[in-house]
Amino acid sequence: EPEVTQTPSHQVTQMGQEVILRCVPISNHLYFYWYRQILGQKVEFLVSFYNNEISEKSEIFDDQFSVERPDGSNFTLKIRSTKLEDSAMYFCASSGDDRQAFFGQGTRLTVV
């Protein structure tokens, strides 16, 4: 069964450092997403990406965040200058036209 793959599974970074979270969506999907889940809180939408551009983004997705699909297979989330409150589980997801989103296993980001 096709799956969304995320790397790394766990990343520890110092406050102020840049991090890049990587995702390989399902190959024939056209829509890509990032969500995050702060420990003990809801899963929150960050951004959606379609046709090589951002289609929607939430208030959380400020100038510190960016997404890219650099090579037609990977989908990355970059946080330019991490803050303690960026510590969370970050989920990548992808979907086709049927609105069924498939999620990756997540990357646990810990900012120290």
Partner 1 sequence: AQSVTQLDSQVPVFEEAPVELRCNYSSSVSVYLFWYVQYPNQGLQLLLKYLSGSTLVESINGFEAEFNKSQTSFHLRKPSVHISDTAEYFCAVSEDNAGNMLTFGGGTRLMVKP
Positions in the binding site for partner 1 (CB under 8 A): 4, 6, 31, 33, 35, 41-45, 48, 50, 55-56, 91, 93, 95, 98-106
Kindly report the length of the chain: 112
> What would the DSSP string read from start to end of 23-59?
EE--TT--EEEEEEE-TTS-EEEEEEEETTEEEEE-T
Pick 35 or 65: Cβ nearer partner 1: 35
Report the nearest approach of partner 1 to the CB of residue 19 (Å).
19
Pick 12 or 15: Cβ nearer partner 1: 12
10 Å CB burial of residue 99 (0-12, 13-18, 19+) is exposed
Pick 31 or 76: Cβ nearer partner 1: 31
Report the nearest approach of partner 1 to the CB of residue 94 (Å).
10
